[in-house]
């Protein structure tokens, strides 16, 4: 397996002259003025960074061969946003091409393949020039490209053009890739020397310095908030050090002896003075050289293969020989082995043996069955394989154009042979014979019977975003639910935004603001008119269980998740467990993706394992002691939501239902309720704005409070040189001593804050916002009187990182008395507004640059960063962090959905657990980790067995006593029965004995307030039991079928 990291001795090298030419070739694409649509490409920039993306949008790419794999790569490259793409394919469209090539239609049969799909490729991204060139390839023609891909190309032709690209100055990165049934191959040659600027794309590791020794090999310790992520041999740079300032400009230095909170640096600090305080160590990513061999050279000496499947660690060398023999077969015969041809399979087996025998290091054995599986499907191109390889190869082309991420070095072989029914393989020759349909490639691999099963599937696809678009496209190409007996239900409650267009490839400009599910379903039908897809705009949640009811779930064959949040995934997973339905799960994060197979009665469910909770900054850090920009942005978004969304919403409760509001806060009567009334009083009485100038004044006063008064009070309470009770400096790392800001109308960020805050305040109060120039707004601000800051004694700031929230300012006072006084003021000041006035809460929306939301949050965060001398960020970076935007690119999405659909084949044929694969992959490294799913745990007791997939169904309208008796007969004591959050019975309570003769159906209605729909025949209860030794035993959910 290739490693994502290499030893320092291998990676930190001075690039040779020919490598510098490659680097200059890539960098030269930066020289021209390139305008980037950051609204469209924000998720991609989050993965690549601006500079890398600028190189990408200056690149020219050639793709030779646009059947299924070629068009998948082309789609991903166009979405990525290269400058231009040229496609070349001299072949004519065949009907079977439509099983993997989604931009071809039946009317295109007989037309040139490239010309038939170029217009649809162009629609993906009008900023990219997509053209066709079907003239014979020449050296002058190929010289114009930054990267080339050859698919469906004979090995002799591939070798010829690879030799030219390798020898070109600068070298032209060359990729050859093909999918043959359930087998695939990729070869990369980026030239004699290729410089990689960033191997993994991860954010540089950081450490906050606590001390540095005066030694010839200085010892550095860091604060113990977090474990250091540095590795021996990495380079780091220092900044913000006081007392040993020379290190700040020393340049990158190598670290060694890295421990949890310390490391050594190869620097003599004995003459640099004593370390005083502060400082940050940041990993510096050094350029790395990678050397490649040509295709001709590597055939005999392929080197190390990229491994994908731990269970098949010896497979890649065998497939290398098999594909060499397949190339030989094609050269000699002029065609690939025919579907179901035993004769062609035998001939390929003999060629494999011959090629292996002639190898420098012959393999001991290459199984005949492996070669036979390759031969039977070699002429077929399956959509899931094309999608998976399209993602992988597309990312390699991006690497070639940008120098970002570790290139594949040099071969990758993959197979999903376990998707085939091993015991029945090969099927009868008749099964593999073409049917004269678009599905003939799939028939050539799996047979006609399997295709019929696929066409009749009942599928529930949850989500129509990036994953959902790719999946519904795959379903259409595979023929899933393309028989009248099959159907796909596609649901998503979201609408299409501009930022979706860079990766959710079924959507176009004219689809903006439409429902995703509707647009995706329409586009999928355009790919295959036989697809039976029904779109809905419902969120799958407890609130829609009357829509997605028992009958709906009961008819399903499989559920496929295409969601972007864990809670939604967990809910769908719980429903799949309840109804015993298979779930295909996947997710992406930048270049990383994972897939998981959840099969009833066989594997564990999605919710059986959880990622650790995301670490959050303590409240005191966010409120008073931020030290990174993330803290400032988190605080800024919290202030936005508190001022502009939560407070107006609470005020509307008072305005619409005053009595209920008053009753609730009196009932609660604590500091939280008091704060809620204070906020309502503020927005309706003390700071209710009736004119826009009043909104400006409100904004200016908030600037003063946020960025001057609070900071001045903090530094008054804790002066810069103050020490703790242990004698240490209070303002020691990671704390940063802040400075108060003075408002200046000449400062762009100061003005941005006031304008955004004033406009949003006006929106809350329903006021018209005038179109003021900066000068006009500045004049309004200058006229506002601001009282000078006066420090207060006795003000307390929370300094304990373990405190969950800021201590209330009047924690010792009588909250009930204060609340009564506040309510009286609220009634006096805003009582006449009840029923006549409504505020407009502002719900945060990150992707609309005209709404001032990110202007407020960005300015707010950057001003706070200035307070604490933290580096500021631009609007896009602020949006990525504050908007909690998940980095996303089309290549990763395509690959993950291809992997999911390969698992679909296994599910349809009823595979054993050994055949399924869960996958984690990272295209940046590249790395694959595929493994068999974890089996579901089996519980046993007194001759009974069950798993998490079981539900005990009891027939009849049972009483509590009858339920207890049922368990008693099985030597279990049921001591507690609950329904939802309500306790129906517990033997600890003597009064509950009165419930023993009562029917459970009556009790759940009376106590749990359960509303059982008329068409539902059962309800569910949770029963707690113990065995004869008094030990608790986890048992399945119990369903009482009372109707």
Alpha helices (H) along 334-464 = 342-357, 368-377, 383-402, 440-446, 448-455
Beta strand ranges found along 431-540 (DSSP E): 458-462, 487-491, 533-536
Asked if residue 992 has a cis previous peptide bond (ω within 30° of 0), the answer is: no
Bridge partners (DSSP) of residue 1020 are 1039
Full strand arrangement of the beta sheet holding 174-180: 129-132, 84-88, 60-64, 147-150, 174-180, 183-189, 411-415
- Strands 1018-1026 and 973-979, by their bridges, are antiparallel
CA distances from 927 to 305, 392, 593, 862 (A): 11, 11, 11, 37
Instruction: Give the HSE-up count for residue 642: Cα atoms under 13 Å, Cβ half-sphere.
Output: 11
Helix H, strand E, coil C: the string for 921-942 is EECCCCEEEEECCCECCCEEEC
Measured CA to CA, the distance from residue 978 to residue 984 in angstroms comes to 5
For residues 133 and 264, is the Cβ–Cβ distance under 8 A?
Answer: no
- Strands 288-290 and 194-196, by their bridges, are antiparallel
Tell me which of 482, 620, 860, 901 is the catalytic residue: 620
CA distances from 61 to 72, 85, 103, 416 (A): 14, 5, 19, 30
CA distances from 99 to 213, 269, 388 (A): 66, 66, 15
Measured CA to CA, the distance from residue 224 to residue 748 in angstroms comes to 38
Measured CA to CA, the distance from residue 366 to residue 240 in angstroms comes to 61
Provide the phi-psi class of 329: left if phi over 0, else alpha when psi is between -120 and 50, else beta. Answer: alpha
- Looking up tokens 């339905």 gives 581
Count CB atoms within 10 A of the CB of residue 726.
5
Of 527, 382, 499, give the one whose Cα is nearest residue 445.
382
Q: CA dihedral defined by 623, 629, 634, 640, rounded to 10 degrees?
A: 90
DSSP code for 614:
P
For residues 169 and 21, is the Cβ–Cβ distance under 8 A?
Answer: yes
Bridge partners (DSSP) of residue 594 are 587, 920
Measured CA to CA, the distance from residue 501 to residue 493 in angstroms comes to 17
Bridge partners (DSSP) of residue 939 are 946
For residues 730 and 714, is the Cβ–Cβ distance under 8 A?
Answer: no
Burial 666-705 (b: 16+ CB within 10 A, else e): eeeeebebbbbbbbbbebbbebbbeebebbbbbbbbbbbe
Helix H, strand E, coil C: the string for 761-789 is HHHHCCCCCCCCCHHHHHHHHHCCCCCCC
482 is an active site residue: no
Q: CA dihedral defined by 551, 554, 555, 560, rounded to 10 degrees?
A: 120
Count CB atoms within 10 A of the CB of residue 997.
10
For residues 720 and 876, is the Cβ–Cβ distance under 8 A?
Answer: no
For residues 347 and 336, is the Cβ–Cβ distance under 8 A?
Answer: no
Active site amino acids: 620
């Amino acid at each position: 397996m290739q490693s994502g990291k290499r030893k320092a001795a291998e990676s930190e090298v001075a690039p040779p002259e020919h490598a510098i030419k490659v680097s200059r070739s890539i960098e030269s694409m930066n020289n021209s003025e390139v305008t980037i649509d950051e609204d469209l490409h924000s998720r991609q920039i989050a993965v690549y960074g601006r500079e890398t993306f600028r190189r990408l949008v200056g690149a020219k790419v050639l793709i030779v061969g646009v059947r299924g794999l070629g068009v998948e790569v082309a789609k991903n490259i166009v979405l990525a946003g290269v400058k231009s793409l040229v496609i070349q394919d001299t072949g004519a469209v065949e009907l079977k091409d439509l099983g993997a090539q989604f931009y071809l239609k039946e009317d295109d049969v007989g037309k040139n393949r490239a010309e038939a799909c170029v217009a649809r490729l162009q629609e993906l991204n009008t900023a990219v020039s997509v053209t066709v060139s079907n003239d014979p390839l020449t050296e002058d023609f190929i010289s114009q490209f930054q990267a080339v891909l050859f698919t469906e190309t004979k090995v002799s032709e591939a070798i010829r053009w690879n030799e030219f690209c390798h020898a070109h100055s600068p070298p032209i990165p060359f990729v050859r890739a093909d999918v043959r049934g359930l087998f695939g191959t990729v070869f990369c040659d980026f030239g004699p020397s290729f410089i990689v600027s960033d191997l993994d794309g991860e954010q540089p590791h950081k450490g906050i310095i606590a001390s540095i020794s005066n030694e010839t090999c200085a010892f550095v310790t860091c604060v113990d908030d977090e474990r250091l992520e540095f590795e021996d041999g990495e380079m780091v740079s220092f900044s913000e050090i006081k007392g040993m300032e020379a290190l700040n400009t020393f340049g990158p230095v190598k670290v060694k002896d890295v421990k949890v909170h310390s490391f050594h640096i190869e620097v003599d600090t004995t003459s640099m003075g004593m370390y005083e305080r502060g400082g940050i160590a940041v990993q510096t990513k050094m350029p790395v050289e990678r050397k490649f061999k040509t295709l001709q050279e590597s055939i005999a000496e392929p080197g190390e293969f990229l491994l994908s499947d731990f269970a098949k660690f010896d497979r890649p060398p065998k497939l290398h020989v098999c594909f060499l023999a397949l190339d030989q077969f094609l050269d000699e015969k002029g065609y690939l082995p025919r579907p179901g041809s035993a004769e062609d399979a035998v001939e390929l087996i003999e060629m494999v043996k011959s090629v292996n025998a002639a190898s420098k290091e012959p393999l001991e054995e290459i199984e005949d069955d492996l070669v036979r599986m390759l031969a039977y499907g070699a002429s077929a191109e399956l959509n899931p394989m094309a999608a998976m390889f399209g993602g992988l190869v597309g990312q390699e082309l991006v690497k070639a154009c940008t120098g970002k991420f570790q290139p594949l070095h040099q071969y990758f072989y993959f197979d999903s042979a376990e998707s085939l029914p091993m015991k029945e393989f090969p099927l009868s020759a008749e099964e593999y014979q073409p049917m004269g349909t678009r599905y003939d490639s799939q028939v050539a691999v799996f047979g006609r019977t399997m295709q019929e099963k696929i066409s009749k599937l009942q599928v529930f696809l949850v989500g129509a975003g990036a994953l959902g678009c790719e999946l519904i496209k795959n379903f259409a190409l595979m023929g899933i639910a393309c028989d009248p007996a099959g159907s796909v239900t596609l649901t998503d409650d979201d609408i299409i935004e501009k930022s979706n267009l860079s990766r959710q490839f079924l959507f176009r400009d004219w689809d903006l603001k439409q429902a995703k599910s509707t647009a995706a379903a329409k586009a999928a039908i355009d790919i295959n008119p036989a697809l039976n897809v029904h779109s809905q705009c419902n969120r799958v949640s407890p609130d829609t269980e009357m829509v997605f009811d028992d009958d709906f779930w009961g008819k399903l064959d499989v559920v496929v998740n295409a969601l972007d949040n864990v809670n939604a995934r967990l809910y769908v997973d719980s429903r799949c467990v309840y109804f015993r339905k298979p779930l295909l799960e996947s997710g992406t994060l930048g270049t990383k993706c994972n897939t998981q197979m959840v099969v009833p009665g066989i594997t564990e469910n999605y919710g059986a394992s959880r990622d650790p909770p995301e670490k959050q900054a303590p409240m005191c850090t966010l409120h008073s002691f931020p030290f990174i920009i993330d803290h400032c942005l988190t605080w800024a978004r919290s202030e936005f939501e508190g001022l502009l969304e939560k407070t107006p919403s609470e005020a509307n409760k008072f305005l619409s239902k005053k009595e209920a509001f008053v009753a609730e806060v009196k009932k609660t009567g604590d500091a939280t309720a008091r704060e809620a009334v204070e906020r309502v009083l503020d927005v309706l009485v003390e700071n209710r704005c009736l004119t826009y100038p009043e909104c400006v004044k409100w904004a200016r006063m908030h600037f003063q409070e946020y960025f001057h008064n609070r900071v001045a009070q903090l530094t008054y309470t804790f002066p810069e040189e103050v020490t703790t009770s242990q004698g240490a400096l209070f303002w020691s790392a990671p704390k940063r001593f802040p400075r108060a800001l003075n408002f200046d109308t000449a400062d762009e960020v100061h003005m941005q804050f006031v304008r955004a805050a004033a406009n949003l305040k006006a929106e809350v109060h329903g006021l018209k916002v005038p179109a003021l120039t900066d000068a006009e707004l500045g004049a309004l601000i200058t006229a506002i009187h601001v009282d000078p800051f006066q420090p207060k004694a006795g003000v307390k700031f929370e300094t304990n990182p373990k405190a969950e929230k800021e201590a209330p300012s009047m924690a010792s006072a009588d909250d009930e008395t204060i609340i009564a006084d506040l309510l009286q003021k609220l009634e006096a000041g805003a009582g006449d507004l009840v029923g006549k006035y409504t505020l407009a809460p502002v719900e945060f929306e990150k992707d609309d640059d005209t709404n001032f939301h990110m202007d407020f949050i960005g300015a707010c965060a950057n001003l706070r960063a200035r307070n604490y001398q933290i580096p500021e960020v631009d609007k896009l970076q602020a949006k990525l962090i504050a908007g909690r935007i998940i980095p996303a690119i089309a290549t990763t999405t395509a690959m993950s959905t291809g992997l999911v659909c390969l698992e679909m084949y296994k599910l349809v044929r009823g595979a054993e657990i050994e055949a399924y694969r869960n996958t984690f992959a990272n295209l940046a490294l590249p790395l694959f980790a595929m493994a068999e799913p974890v089996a579901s745990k089996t519980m046993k007791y007194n001759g009974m067995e069950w798993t998490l997939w079981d539900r005990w169904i009891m027939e009849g309208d049972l009483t509590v006593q009858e339920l207890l008796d049922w368990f008693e007969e099985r030597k279990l004591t049921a001591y507690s029965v609950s329904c939802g959050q309500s306790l129906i019975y517990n033997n600890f309570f003597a009064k509950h004995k009165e419930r023993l003769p009562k029917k459970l159906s009556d009790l759940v209605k009376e106590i749990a307030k359960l509303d059982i729909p008329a068409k539902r025949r059962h309800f569910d209860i949770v029963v707690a039991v113990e065995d004869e030794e008094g030990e608790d035993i986890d048992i399945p959910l119990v369903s009482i079928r009372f109707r």
